[in-house]
Amino acid sequence: MAPRTSATASGPRQPHSVAECSLQSDVCSSGYTKFQGQCYKVLNTDTPIDFTAAQRMCQGEGAVLAADKSPQIHNFMKALLEPHLSETVDSKYRRAFIGLMCQNGCDSPANWLYADGSGCEGNAFCDWHSVASTNEWNALPTSLYGASIAAMLDDFPDTSYRYKLQPYPADHTLQYMICQKGADSTEHLKPRTLTVNERLSNVVLQWNRPACKGDITSYILVLLGGSVSYDTEMKCTSEQCEFTLNPEVCNYCIHPNTDYTFSVAAVLSDSQLGPAISINKKIDVETCPNFETPFHTISTCRGVSEVIHDGSCDNQITWSKGSMCDAVCEVGYGFFVEPAPKYSCDAGGVWTPAGKAPECYEIVPVFSANLQFRIDYKRASIENLQHQFDGLVYKYNDIFCPYPEECGIGDLQIKSALDEDGSKMSEVIITIDTPVYNITDQTGFIELVREAVLTVSDDNAFMTLIDYDNIALVLPQKSNAFKASPQLCCHTCPEGHAYRLGNCVRCPTAECV
């Protein structure tokens, strides 16, 4: 058994006015009503179910379908059922399963048995052949149905059944059932209404504290299933408690498609454990297949259910729901198809997006790229603008290009326009040819070029005129409108490569060039 760890499920403490947290006379579980030493409860479903499913619901509460075996018990159960029914319910569903059935030969009382193991034969309430029979059968059972069950009929005037037991075929469906279990001297010490819900990457337990008055703040969770056993201590001071079991904490104690028993017991004031409430649940722990990582791609993932050692150099991995992966390329390689920011193993056991990182291909430097700027000038005619920008490119060649002979003004488009005041202005789109070698921070490069181009201003015009033989500089208009919006465009890559995501990437197919 794993070492006991401490967990917390806290909240405001609620007062109690029930029994003290110690042994006492027999009591019933919450929701049950005591009668003649037994505890009874009416359950119902949204849609009709058969006898087997009804019995399973009672078993889920540690009970069985009730044994209707005396007039006193019958009248008690009839009164217990009545508040749950109404005349608005379809009359064929105004009845409830009880624990009375037979497998074959159902025309004989000897073949009818109660769910608690006792028989119908010899019981004057049930045995219609008994001399002193007071049986409540509305219609006597026959062998025509084969395996048969019994149900308690309603007590409404519109149906006014003379008697209140009715035989049905075993597959008959109803929405109500009456459960029965024995009273218990420790029942008030047991946590109530335990539920186990599976989340994406963990299991959440919820329960209500015992129905007794006292300081219970600690609980023990015991998990059993497959070859796994695990226990941990949990803290809770609220009326309703919750604990999240992360499989990583218990060394992946939960595996896919395995039945588990979850038990929660209160730690009493004398450090003894009270009775446990248990629930059996098959945990799907929906898993995803191995996250495929092509050559030259590196994936980083978190969360795993199982590593499958198959003797190969590349072990297969089953990923638990909620696992996440991302992908990057090895140095010198780049994606041709942009990867998703995250790949997640979601409900249904599938990766979203598809569970494979895109392949990385060898990259080479971008052969060349052009920079385009849009600049507004508050002049109708600009005769020497080409010469002016040639001079600027030359002056800032350490930024524009490492080989000045390859640089220059590739294109200059001038469009006449009017400003808001009706004055003539020129809108200029300038394209600067500049080979771009090994540029990874393209945004930073654009900002450097932007800064160089926009240094033509009133403040530095004099120095620029001196440097370039008194070129008559044309200054951009002084408002923010002259701020260029450059973009890196028109990339050129070597043969067999295409520009993708900032690099010239070797094409995986001939069609991509």
Token pair belonging to 235: 């803290």
> Smallest Cα–Cα separation from 508: which of 361, 330, 396?
361
Distance separating alpha carbons of residues 508 and 513, to the nearest angstrom = 9
Q: Specify burial of residue 441 (Cβ count, 10 A radius: 0-12, 13-18, 19+).
A: exposed
Contact indicator for 182, 63 with CB cutoff of 8 Å:
no
Q: Which residues, 6 or more positions from 205, have their beta carbon under 8 angstroms from its beta carbon?
A: 194, 195, 196, 221, 242, 243, 244, 245, 262, 264
Distance separating alpha carbons of residues 104 and 294, to the nearest angstrom = 64
Residue 507, SS3 per DSSP:
coil
Residue 81, SS3 per DSSP:
helix
> Smallest Cα–Cα separation from 302: which of 325, 270, 329?
325
Helix, strand, coil shares of the chain as percentages rounded to 5? 15, 40, 45
Strands 64-65 and 38-50 turn out to be unpaired
One-character DSSP codes across 367-422: -EEEEEEEEEES-S--TTHHHHHHHHHHHTHHHH-SSGGG-EEEEEEEEEEE-TTS
- pLDDT truncated to tens, each residue of the chain (513 aa)? 333 444 445 343 343 334 567 656 677 877 889 898 889 999 988 888 999 999 988 888 888 999 988 889 988 998 898 888 876 777 777 889 999 999 889 999 999 999 888 898 888 888 888 877 777 788 888 888 888 999 888 777 666 676 678 899 989 999 999 999 888 767 778 898 888 887 656 788 999 988 877 778 899 999 988 777 889 999 998 889 999 888 778 877 777 677 888 999 998 877 788 888 888 887 766 678 888 888 889 988 887 766 766 666 666 787 877 788 999 999 888 888 888 989 988 777 788 888 788 888 888 766 555 666 667 766 666 666 666 666 666 665 555 555 555 566 667 777 777 777 777 777 777 676 665 544 445 556 566 666 666 655 545 543 444 444 544 555 555 544 433 444 455 566 777 887 777 677 888 777 675
Cα–Cα distances (Å) from 304 to 204, 285, 293, 315, 477, in that order, read 19, 11, 16, 13, 61
pTM (predicted TM-score): 0.41
Strand segments (E) across 121-202: 148-153, 165-169, 173-182, 192-198
Q: Which residue has the tokens 């087997």?
A: 52
